[in-house]
Amino acid sequence: MVDAGFWIGGFGLGEGIDERPALLSAIIDVLPDEKPRMISGLGLPEEILEGIDAGIDLFDSTYIYSLTLGGFALTFSLDKSGNQYKYQKSPIESDLTKINLRAKIYRKDMSPILGNCTCYTCKNHTKAYINHLFNVHEMLAQILLEIHNTHHYLTFFHVIREAIKDGRFEKFRQTFIESRRAHYEREAVCA
Ligand SMILES: [Zn+2]
């Protein structure tokens, strides 16, 4: 279809996070309201929230793929308030937002990646099993991990849509970003 919407490229290539809002609004401001806007290059949860705030509708990102490739599983809080404080203190080999399942610490961990996650991987497999699969270079490790990461990420988008629907998005965005930053800093002090 001609003129179905707009694709925005060139982000996530080195511009500072502080420069981004001005750059994004310079583009978004001249686009018609009724056409969807899609962006590539933004993938971190904070970047998604900033993008939505600027008026982006769709995201094209390799975030989940690269995360999975590195052996990471997303574990950040999906609380509907956006608050990251409620979440547990970071376990070892974790930066609070994700854990590295290649780490030795998970060798005998018989719990799922996230106890309350409803994805196929968390319902059927343990961290120890995925860690084992990584150790023996079995491709199932990445498949199981990608199932969890995709599920977690899509649930994040669901939580965002609910916040928009209820008129709470601005509060959600601020709480999420501020509590996540504060948590990072607290972790850094404790480390
Ligand atoms: Zn899961």
CA angle 181, 142, 14 (to 5 degrees): 40
**Residues around ligand 1, an ion, CB closer than 5 A:** 117, 119, 122, 148
For residue 12, the CA-to-ligand 1 centroid distance in Å is: 27
For residue 42, the CA-to-ligand 1 centroid distance in Å is: 23
- Please state, in angstroms and rounded to a whole number, the distance separating the CA atoms of residues 25 and 7: 14
- pLDDT tens string 32-91: 999 999 999 899 999 999 999 999 999 999 999 999 999 999 999 898 998 886 555 555
For residue 114, the CA-to-ligand 1 centroid distance in Å is: 6
The CA-based diameter of the chain, rounded to the nearest angstrom, is: 55
Q: Once rounded to an integer, what is the mean pLDDT over residues 130-136?
A: 97
Judged against a pLDDT cut of 70, whether residue 120 lies above it is answered with yes
Nearest CA among 74, 93, 75 for reference residue 191:
93
For residue 28, the CA-to-ligand 1 centroid distance in Å is: 35
